[in-house]
Amino acid sequence: RLVDAIHEKGLQTPNLFATTPLNHAETTSAIREALDTGSALPANLSVHCFVEALQQLCFSLAVPIISPALFPTTEVGPETIQSLTRRLLEDLQPISYNVVVYFISFFRECLLYKESNNLAAAHLARMALRMCSPPNPSIVLDSGSLARRAGMQLILLHLLETSSI
């Protein structure tokens, strides 16, 4: 429902996925309440409020959509990107696979309006990584973990920039 609301409210909106709305805690709460109760989503909110609610929903999941255990352990480069991407998709649990494919498809559609919404594939790859595998703020990542996160971001960028999944 959140992705549909974002789509309906405008993929062409400037600074989509880059603007935090005012009173975002209050508006996110109202949106989450509507989702939880099955009632209509608030109609008077900006698209940025729904983007924020989608991000917060992903950040609050007990289990990440992409487990850090699936992050690449080898360097991601032109010669390995295709096989690492395939391995990721094969190793995802079915529900996680569906969510990743859905998000990638949605973000590709957002990129169709990049001239008006100011989005770039690299920005959406970072956003997809944060949404699918939020970093734990209480853990300081070592250089190896940071490199693995960077590798996963490259895989997500590859998925955004290629026509096949």
Residue of higher predicted confidence among 24 and 8: 8
Q: What is the pTM of this model?
A: 0.89
For residue 21, pLDDT beyond 80: no
For residue 10, pLDDT beyond 90: no
Residue entry with tokens 């109609």: 43
Structure tokens at 14: 């400037």
Quote the pLDDT of residue 143.
Answer: 83
Structure tokens at 39: 């009632």
Q: How many CB atoms lie within 10 A of CB 60?
A: 9
Our measurement of the distance from residue 17's CA atom to the centroid of its chain's CA atoms, rounded to an integer in Å, reads 10
Residue 94 three-state SS:
helix
